[in-house]
Each structure stands twice: as structure tokens, then as C-alpha cells.
A and B are shown apart, each in its own frame.
Chain A
Amino acid sequence: MSTGYQIIVCGSIVPDPLQTLEPVVGPGGPALKNEMMLPAVLDPWAGHALYEAAHLAKNTPGSKVWLVSLGPKAKLQQVMMTVAQKVPFELVALDGPAGGFTDSCEVAAALAEAIQAVPTLDRSRLLVFGGWESASRGAGATLQMVGERLGILDQFQGVDRLTVGNDGWLTILERIEGGKHQVSTCAGPPAVLGWATGHLPEPPNNPQVGMANMRTIMPSLQRAKAVRVGAEGVTFARVSLPSQRRETRVVKDRSADEIAREIVAWMRQ
């Protein structure tokens, strides 16, 4: 029997948050202004999941990492030029919309189908990773539905750490309220883990890793299946940014003393 984990990371792309993200309502429903043209990045949470997956795979001989990603093909390709340099993985690309206005249920269906189609998939070794939410939709609902479709009942969200015991049991730390972590143990794969930040820094770019990954990434992008995902049955009534703009009073040229007194008075109001 082969050993090691089969780690499938579900992760898509989001617009670079430094861009001006302005919701607009177009003929196809709500969208972000010029979204297609804005640079995209790998969803930060999915990124953490990917780095954790690579780390686990590296320390568990025989393991392999896949990244299953649903997004506009051309944009996925662009993002891969960075992501592929971080850690070794094989890409499973699905060509479709990646924005915040698709229904997580439909997205989950497409992802689960793609996962099931991975050749050599072995449930007894399967760990499904992803972000506990995404920076585009932020609902935190996709992975659970992927898990349900795959019939995986051991699911964890807001994971910050995964350790594997000598007996193969998994110990998992999940974020809960009040800056605490819930600790669970699980009898091993299959399991779904929606990652929060994890504990690994972002790996530096390494074009050599990238060149190796590209051998499978480009073919995968070329044969990426077009999938239709939307938000059937959902009508978005209105989309707007939280109105944030305040009339800022800028206080300059005052002594630290005066400022401190003002702050303390304000705190005690």
C-alpha cells in the first residue's frame, strides 16, 4: 500500500486587495468594475492552506499536493506565475467565474466533481484543504459543501495548526471566539480542513520550483474544463461598499501631552 497523504487544496483567485474594488451592476448581475482587467492574487486563505499542504507533504514521504482552482483561465494562468514558484503541486484548473457573486453551492459542486476525477484518488489518504473563507465572498461555506459531496464527515474550519501523531491521528487547532483555539483529534483521513492563517510564512518565490510545476500546470490550464457556475435562484438586490468615509480631523503640531489627554478623555466618555 502506498503511504503519504493526497492533499487537495481548493483555492481560487481574488482581485488584488490594493486595487480599487468598486461594485457595479452589469447585465449579468453584480460584478466589480473592470474586474477582469485588475490583477488577481491567490486567495490569501487558500494560500495559507497551500503552504500548509506543501509543508505536510514534504514531511510525509509519499504525499502529493493538488491545487484545484476554479477561475477565469487566463487569470489563473497569470496568478500561477507567482503561485507556482512557491511550493510543488499539480494544478487542476476549472475555467469559470471566480468572483464574489457566484453561489458557493454551485462552486462546491464543480470542485467536488473535479476532485473525484483526480486519477488515483484514495479516500483513505485524502485531505481536502482550503481557506475557511475567501477574500471575495467571505461566506466560509464552500468547503463544507465540498466535504458533504465527498461524504467526508470530519471537517474543521479556521484551522491554524495540524499535527500528525505517530499513530496517524491528526490533532487540529481551530479558531474559536475570544482569541482561543479548540483542540480536536481525528482518526486520520479523510478530512476537510478550512485553514485560517496557519503558522507558516509565505514561501519566497523560487523560479526553479516554478519551472518544475509548469510542466503540469500549463497542460492543465490548456485542458481546463469550462464550468458554468453562477447563483441560480438568487437575485442580488443591491451591492455597495460599507460607507467608510469620515470627515477626518487631522490634529498636527500638538504636544504629546495634549493629545494623550484628549485620547484619555475620549476613552472615558
Chain B
Amino acid sequence: METLRTLPGDDLRQILWRFADRFDLQMLVQSARSVARGPVARLVAEGARNSHEWTEQKAQLLKAFDESGITTLYMDPDQGGYVEGPKNLALALVAFELAWVDGGSATCSLAGNLALAPIHERGTPEQRDTYMHRAVPPQPGEDRTIWRGAFCLTEPLPYVGVETGLLSGKVRIAEWEEGKEPILQVEKRGRFITNMGFARFVTAAVDSGDDRIKGSCMVILEETDPGLFDRGVPTRKLVHQLSSTRDPVFNLRVPASRLIGGYTVTNGVIVPRYSHGEVIEAVFRRTRVTVGLMTSAKLLSAVEPVIRYQRGRFRGGETITPGSPRYELGLQQKEDVLHRLVDVWATGEAGASLGFAAARLFDELDPLERRKDEIFAAQGIGGGSAQTKALRRLQKEALELLALSTSPAGARDENRYEALQSDPLVQFLVLDSQANVLCPACKLWNTGHGATMMREAVSLMGGYGITEDCPGFLGHKWMDAQLEATYEGPEAVQRRQLTVTMTNELFLEQLRMWIAEMREVGFRRPGTGACTLASAMEAWLWTLTHLQGATDADGAKLYHGTRQGVTFPLADALCWLLASRYQILDVLEVEAKGPANPVVAEGLAGLVNFLTDLCHIQAARAAGEAGRICAELVHGYNRHPAWDGEGCGAGCHLGELDPLDWIIPAAGGSVGAPSEGAAPGKPHPAKAGPCVRFDGLEQFVRLRLKLDGCLTGARLAKDRAATALTTVMIPEALDYPA
């Protein structure tokens, strides 16, 4: 059987992540890569991470970003940028390349965009023009210095962190002369604010501290505004030291025109166009995907150095002669290290597939969202709850569209289908419901589980792994992943969001379609594990529906916002399944498009075999996780029957029970109602109590059992993938210094 010959190259990645026809993005990748593996890697190798301060040495990074087009990427062509249209995928690719070497450098570049994002997403046209232009590096002949920004939401304890509502930062009216622009006094303290070492402007979230200002808002602060612009002390970070993080203090007078999105005056009260919540929602839902991809990049970046370490592990030993297995294969003679590396690789692939799919989805969604706002504006429907209400009315149509899209052409009302499909609002609703799940899923799973797997990668390097000398900076990457799981909303925030968005009927309807889709893929390409995944999705869906209606042993509702013990694990389980789905879809894409590219075609059969095996391994792992979580949730809130407790009332029978009897009557050998307990006069069997009965859960047990069976073959796939790791050709050396 053909197997992997070389490590995946750009040609493959372009097809896999769907930018084979985007030359602008391909160039961008090269550009970002040369910054990452050049100046960034040199900084890390020279020990620039060993200080908390923002140094001259680190500041070289900003110059490298400017020169290579990374800084301007965020802008539209009319603002001085060079990439047309939405840029979510573009930004994701850049972050991926930078994080391949150092996550902090990615954060540093990202934070500049984050500062601009409120203005980009919600700013007035004038604000957008002003700040986007200023943030473009000066072109030849221009005499100005670039403006870099910081995004300031988080505050010193006990204020805003995960709970973004608790703002202590305040905005008041300092001066308001009749007929003139009001002057505001903005007080804000920040904590952990990235780019604060050099930012010239800050987009800050503040609450009204004045009756004449309504609600909360985001406001733009500039370094030269009158008052206090104190950058504060550097955060003593253990991670991402190539970004600057500080706890700043601001107390500044700014004109009201700095309110992001503008304002109106009603009855003598300034009403900001957007609350801070509305701004940050629009911002984070995009930038979080990028963060998720950073961790996946690290995992994939670990593959080459680990293989090299494994192969060379025993070379140079006196009795180890070239040509001997110990010399050529080194540690790769041992199954475990191969299997673990396969797991690291598969996780990286799945995370990248999920993340890039999410980024592409936002690229699709962005223009629709703009269109939606235009339509609503024309109808006089403002932002916020008015829009939400209007959209809710369209939910039925969106569901109808989904239903029509699954019924075969000809057998459905084509006119209706066409009409719904070309309705931008309906389209928006469908994609939005997906994006609302994919974004938190990517941020949560890629970083959280990614950090765990990064630890695996480090341990595969042995002691070397936790030294500064480890090729590929794996130790740094492990720690860095923890920050990626934390900033821009830690895991709890993502889980909370998923708790809500994954129960949206529009999303669930799509999930049902995906189950059918995966079955169909499984039929065509049994080796992908798609069928396993479909079974796991079914079990998850059953569990969600069950939990939404069920109560615990004390009669309390199970699926509820306050019951994070129920909702959060279920959200985790979904993430596993989603990542696995996108991984499989990507491999299908390569299989379909690979033959047309001579470079990919050359080794395609082996490549597809290997990637398919990774899919299978990942699908099995995802199914296992989902199955475990679902089972815990379904059973775990019921009280175990006791020998003498309620559980042992009328339903408690004599004899030893085989739980399967309730499901598959013949399984335990005893047909009919089994009985359990002690024969009169004999003690109970030495165990916690009578075995549990599955009344009402038969279908779940059946699903779970089926799921176990679906794991068939997954370990064979792992063995094959492991063998591939022993033969794949790797470069002589890493292409960045260590």
C-alpha cells in the first residue's frame, strides 16, 4: 500500500485549506513564513523571550511585520491594504505561520488588528478612514509615523475578565457647550493589555458614569489626549514574550466623536450607537478563530523536529553502526512514541481543518452580514434587539430552506427553494448559526485540547523538550498554548456561548444533515471514520435532546445555563465531533482536487492513505470522547440503586443482572425479566448495589454500543500511520534556528 513519502508541502495545504486559487494568500503565506522563520526565530533563538520588557530587539518584529505586508493585511485596498474582500482566512493563515515558530509574535501582530477591529467592525466611516490609514506603514515619500493600537477591555480585579459586563472604566461628560461637540472624561484601568508597550491609540470599553450618557460604549483614546496616558507596568508573563503586555491607566479628555460608531443625542442624553458588548461581540467572533489556529500550527510544527529527534536518538553511540535499525530508526523502533506522535499530528490536522473552515465561513458571512445591515437599515430596523427580533421571524424560512435543500431536486418546490436560497437574510441566518458554533468550538477545542497535546509533543522530546535548546521551541509552545486558551475569552466563555448556540434549532438541523452526510462519506470512503463520526453525532444529538428534557435525581432541570456541569462537557463533546468532520471533508477535497496538481498528484495515493488514516484515528478518538461524556451525563445524574434504598424497591430483583439483558435480551444468557439480589438468607453480592436498569434509555444504550462497534479498524489505521512515520522523508534540518 502506498504511504506518505514527504511531509505535506504548500501545494497540499493550499488544496486542503482551499486557497489553491488565491495567489494573494499564497504569497502572504510565504511572506509571513519568512518573517516567522527569519527574524522571529532569530529573536527566540537569541533568548529575546527571556525578558518581560518590550525591548529594542523585540521591536524589530514590528518593522518586519510592516515590511512584509503583515501590518497592512488588515486594511482594504482603499485604506492602503492590498487584499480585496473579507480577510478572515488571510489573517488566519498569517497567524498560523507566525505561531508555527512563536505564538507571541502572532499575538503581537494580531493585537494590532484587535485594536482596529472595533473601529473596523463598528466605527463611523470617518473613524475608519482616520485610524485605518494611520495604521498603514508609511509608504516611500510619506513623512509620518505609523500608529499602532491596543484593545483594552480587561480590567484589574474584581472587574471585567470573563464576565464582560462588570466594567469599572467610566466615561463622563467633562464639558458640553451649547451647539458644540461634548468633551468626555474617560477613566479606564486595563489589565493584561497587549501592545501597550508602544500603542499610540487604545480602543477602550467603558461604562457610563454620567446620567447624560446612556449605557456602555467603546471609545478611542490617543497618546496625546490631555490627561493621563500611563502605560503601566509590564506583565510578568511566562509566555508569549514577543508581545508586549501591560496594565495601563488612562484618565483622558476626548471629544465625543471618539465614541466608536458615533452617537445621537436624545433629550439631552448622549446615546452611543453601540454598547461595548455589541462591539466586542462583532470583534471576538472573528479574531477567536485565528487564536485557535495558532495552537494547531504548533502541533503540526512539532512533527518534523520530533521525527528527527526520534530517528537520531542513538546515533553517535559507539556500538551503533550506520545501517542498523537502531541507527536508522532510533526511537522509532518503539511503537508508543510513534502512536503518540500520530495523535499529535492528527489533532493538529483536525484543529487546522476546523479553524480554517471557520475562517472561510466568516469570509462568506462578512458580506452577507453587511447586506443584512443594509436591508435592515432600509427598513428602519436598528441594531441590537430590534434586529434580533426581525431575524427570529425569519428562522422558520431558514429551516424551510434547509429542509428543501435535503430533498432531491425535482421532488421539491423549486421556486420556493430558489427564492429562499437567494434571500440574503435567510442565507445569513443559516451561516450565522454555523459560525456561532464554529467560532467558539475552534477557540475552545483547538487551544484547550491542543495545549494538552502540545504537552505530549514536548514529552516525546524527553528532557530536551523542556530545555531552551529543544528544536522547534516545543517547550515554549506548550506554555504558550495555555495563554491561547485564556486570552480573548477563556474556555468558560466559549463553553458558555456554545451552551446557547449549539441548541439553536437551525444549527441542530444542520447537524442532522451532517450525520447523513457523514454516513454517505463513510459509504464511499469507509477508511475515513466518517461513519464512526456519524454514530457519535447521533449519540450526542440524542443526549442533548434527552438532557434538555430530563431532570437529575433530585428533580432539578439538567440542561440549564447555570448547570455548567451539564452544558459545558456537552459543548466539549461537540467540538471533538466538529473538528473531526472538517478534517474528513478536507481530505475528500484533496482526493478530488489533488490529481489536477502535478506536484500533489505525484504522491497522492500515499498522501491520501495517510491523511485518511489520521481522520480515522481522530474520528475514533472523538467518538470515544463524545461517547464517554454523553454516558456520564445521561447516567451520572441518576442515583445508583442501593441494596436497601429506593432503587431496590419493587424493581429490585433477585440474582445477578447482566445490564445488557435490558437491551439485547439474549446477551446475558437469561431471557425474560432478570432478577438480581440475594437469595433469601444469603448476603448481597459484594458490589455497590443492584445493577442499573436502563428504562427509557434503551436507545441511548443501543447508540453507545453501536458506537463502540464503530471503532472497529481505528487501531489498524493507527498502526499504518505509525509505520508511515518511520519511512517518511524529512529535511536534513529545521528551516529555522533553534
The verdict on A37 contacting B603 (CB below 8 Å), with A18-B735, A74-B597, A81-B30 known, is yes
Contact of B69 with A by CB under 8 A: yes
User: How many A-B pairs fall under 8 Å by CB?
Assistant: 99
A99 to chain B, nearest CB (A): 14
Contact of A211 with B by CB under 8 A: yes
The verdict on A85 contacting B598 (CB below 8 Å), with A18-B733, A248-B316 known, is no
The verdict on A205 contacting B599 (CB below 8 Å), with A18-B731, A37-B6 known, is no
Cβ-closest chain B residue relative to A39:
B9
Point out the residue from B23, B34, B316 that lies within 8 Å of A250, measured CB to CB.
Answer: B316
List the A side residues contacting B11 at CB < 8 Å: 74, 78
* A20 and B68 form a contact (CB under 8 A): no
A58 to chain B, nearest CB (A): 12
Chain A, 5-38, CB within 8 A of any chain B CB: 16, 18-20, 22, 33-34, 36-38
* A74 and B26 form a contact (CB under 8 A): no
List the B side residues contacting A20 at CB < 8 Å: 729-732
* B599 and A206 form a contact (CB under 8 A): no
A249 to chain B, nearest CB (A): 10
List the B side residues contacting A81 at CB < 8 Å: 10, 23, 26-27, 29-30
Contact of B129 with A by CB under 8 A: no
List the A side residues contacting B732 at CB < 8 Å: 18-20
* B30 and A206 form a contact (CB under 8 A): no
Report A50-88 CB contacts with B as 1/0, cut-off 8 Å.
000000000000000000000011110010011011000
List the A side residues contacting B72 at CB < 8 Å: 208
* B10 and A207 form a contact (CB under 8 A): no
List the B side residues contacting A73 at CB < 8 Å: 598
The verdict on A205 contacting B322 (CB below 8 Å), with A34-B5, A211-B24, A218-B23 known, is no
Chain B, 1-58, CB within 8 A of any chain A CB: 5-6, 9-11, 23-24, 26-31, 34-35
A205 to B36, CA, bound (A): 12
Q: How many residues of B contact A (CB 8 A)?
A: 36
A78 to B23, CA, bound (A): 9
* A207 and B24 form a contact (CB under 8 A): yes
List the A side residues contacting B730 at CB < 8 Å: 20
Contact of B175 with A by CB under 8 A: no
Point out the residue from B30, B73, B729 that lies within 8 Å of A85, measured CB to CB.
Answer: B30
* B31 and A205 form a contact (CB under 8 A): yes
Contact of A238 with B by CB under 8 A: no
A22 to B731, CA, bound (A): 11
* B599 and A37 form a contact (CB under 8 A): yes
* A78 and B731 form a contact (CB under 8 A): no
Contact of A190 with B by CB under 8 A: no
Contact of B82 with A by CB under 8 A: yes
A72 to B27, CA, bound (A): 19
Report A204-236 CB contacts with B as 1/0, cut-off 8 Å.
111110110010001000000000000000000
A18 to B730, CA, bound (A): 9
* A34 and B23 form a contact (CB under 8 A): no
Chain B, 601-649, CB within 8 A of any chain A CB: 602-603
Contact of B67 with A by CB under 8 A: yes
A250 to B318, CA, bound (A): 11
The verdict on A82 contacting B30 (CB below 8 Å), with A16-B731, A19-B732, A208-B69 known, is yes
Contact of A245 with B by CB under 8 A: yes
List the B side residues contacting A85 at CB < 8 Å: 27, 30-31
A16 to chain B, nearest CB (A): 7
A73 to B72, CA, bound (A): 30
A31 to chain B, nearest CB (A): 12
List the B side residues contacting A74 at CB < 8 Å: 11, 597-599
The verdict on A84 contacting B67 (CB below 8 Å), with A18-B732, A20-B730 known, is no
A146 to B82, CA, bound (A): 38
B17 to chain A, nearest CB (A): 15
Chain B, 479-511, CB within 8 A of any chain A CB: none
Point out the residue from B24, B68, B735 that lies within 8 Å of A206, measured CB to CB.
Answer: B68
Chain A, 243-257, CB within 8 A of any chain B CB: 245, 248, 250
Report A114-132 CB contacts with B as 1/0, cut-off 8 Å.
0000000000000000000
* A36 and B26 form a contact (CB under 8 A): no
B3 to chain A, nearest CB (A): 12
List the A side residues contacting B73 at CB < 8 Å: 207
Most buried by A among B9, B30, B68, B597: B30
A28 to chain B, nearest CB (A): 14
A72 to B67, CA, bound (A): 30
List the B side residues contacting A16 at CB < 8 Å: 731, 735
A33 to B5, CA, bound (A): 10
List the B side residues contacting A84 at CB < 8 Å: 27
A26 to B598, CA, bound (A): 18
Point out the residue from B6, B322, B599, B602 that lies within 8 Å of A78, measured CB to CB.
Answer: B599
A84 to B28, CA, bound (A): 11
A78 to B15, CA, bound (A): 13
Most buried by B among A16, A18, A33, A81: A81
Cβ-closest chain B residue relative to A95:
B598
* A214 and B23 form a contact (CB under 8 A): yes
* B27 and A204 form a contact (CB under 8 A): no
The verdict on A211 contacting B598 (CB below 8 Å), with A34-B5, A37-B9, A245-B322 known, is no
Point out the residue from B26, B67, B82 that lies within 8 Å of A204, measured CB to CB.
Answer: B67
Cβ-closest chain B residue relative to A75:
B599
The verdict on A34 contacting B603 (CB below 8 Å), with A74-B597, A207-B27, A207-B28 known, is yes
A13 to chain B, nearest CB (A): 12
A36 to B599, CA, bound (A): 6
List the A side residues contacting B67 at CB < 8 Å: 204, 206
Cβ-closest chain A residue relative to B599:
A74
A180 to B603, CA, bound (A): 47
The verdict on A36 contacting B598 (CB below 8 Å), with A78-B11, A81-B27 known, is yes
A20 to B733, CA, bound (A): 9
* A211 and B27 form a contact (CB under 8 A): yes
Cβ-closest chain A residue relative to B11:
A78
List the B side residues contacting A78 at CB < 8 Å: 10-11, 26, 599
A178 to chain B, nearest CB (A): 31
A206 to B83, CA, bound (A): 13
A156 to B6, CA, bound (A): 40
List the B side residues contacting A82 at CB < 8 Å: 27, 30, 34
List the B side residues contacting A214 at CB < 8 Å: 23-24, 27
* A37 and B69 form a contact (CB under 8 A): no
A104 to B75, CA, bound (A): 46
A205 to B316, CA, bound (A): 40
Point out the residue from A37, A39, A75, A211 that lies within 8 Å of B5, measured CB to CB.
Answer: A37
A22 to B6, CA, bound (A): 13
A19 to B603, CA, bound (A): 17
B67 to chain A, nearest CB (A): 5
A211 to B9, CA, bound (A): 22
List the B side residues contacting A207 at CB < 8 Å: 24, 27-28, 31, 68-69, 73, 82-83
A112 to B29, CA, bound (A): 34
Chain B, 713-733, CB within 8 A of any chain A CB: 729-733
B401 to chain A, nearest CB (A): 37
* A33 and B69 form a contact (CB under 8 A): no
B320 to chain A, nearest CB (A): 11
Most buried by B among A19, A78, A204, A250: A204
A74 to B9, CA, bound (A): 13
22 A-B contacts (beta carbon < 8 Å): A19-B732, A20-B731, A20-B732, A22-B729, A33-B729, A34-B5, A34-B602, A34-B603, A37-B6, A37-B599, A38-B6, A39-B9, A74-B11, A75-B599, A78-B11, A81-B30, A205-B27, A205-B69, A206-B31, A207-B24, A207-B83, A214-B27
Closest 8 CB pairs of A and B: A207-B69, A205-B31, A210-B27, A82-B30, A36-B602, A81-B26, A74-B598, A18-B731
Extra pairs beyond A81-B23, A210-B24 (8, CB < 8 Å): A81-B29, A85-B31, A205-B30, A207-B31, A207-B68, A211-B82, A214-B23, A250-B316
**Interface residue ranges, A against B (CB under 8 Å):** 16, 18-20, 22, 33-34, 36-39, 72-75, 78, 81-82, 84-85, 204-208, 210-211, 214, 218, 245, 248, 250
